[in-house]
Structure formats: structure tokens, C-alpha cells
Amino acid sequence: MELSKTEKVKYKLNTKGMNITQMAKLLRKHSIKGFLIRLSERFIVVIVPRDEITLNKTKMKQMIKVMEG
């Protein structure tokens, strides 16, 4: 992943007390591409390749539905 072709994207997500390693594994499990750089209780920040931003957004919505039950 070339850094000049990436952007920081902030996703609203209830992390439910996960640490950064657990969240990175969850993102990988759901095929969300990028590099997790920040984690809070209510959001995550991921460095994502520009051509993957819209695809990640749809995968993230699916992941949130699964996490909510």
C-alpha cells in the first residue's frame, strides 16, 4: 500500500471495549482493507487505499449489522 494513494477514513462504530489488535482481526475477518491507526469507544480511523473507500463503506455497514445482532 503506497501512502501517497491513501486517505484516512473515520468510521462510526461501537467498539464494545475491544483493543486495537482485536479490532484489526475483526476488520480482516470481514475483508475490510486498510491499516487501523486509531481506536476509540465510538469510532475507528483507518488508512485506506482511495480505490477501496466505497467498497469498505459497504462492508463496514454489513459488519455493523452483524455486530449489533
Q: Is CATH 3.30.1370 correct for 3-68?
A: yes
| Backbone φ and ψ of 54, nearest 5° | -70, -35
Q: What is the pLDDT of residues 40-62, one digit of tens each?
A: 999 999 999 999 999 999 999 99
In the prediction, which pLDDT does 42 show? 94
Q: Where are the domains of the chain?
A: 3-68
* Rounded percentage of the chain residues whose pLDDT exceeds 90: 78
Q: What is the rounded CA–CA span in Å between residue 41 and residue 47?
A: 18
Apex 46 CA angle, 44 and 48, nearest 5: 150
User: What pLDDT band is residue 68 in, cutting at 50, 70 and 90?
Assistant: confident
Across the range 16-39, mean pLDDT stands at 94
Residue with cell 479490532: 23
Query: CA 10 → CA 20, 25, 39, 69, distances in Å?
Result: 15, 18, 10, 22
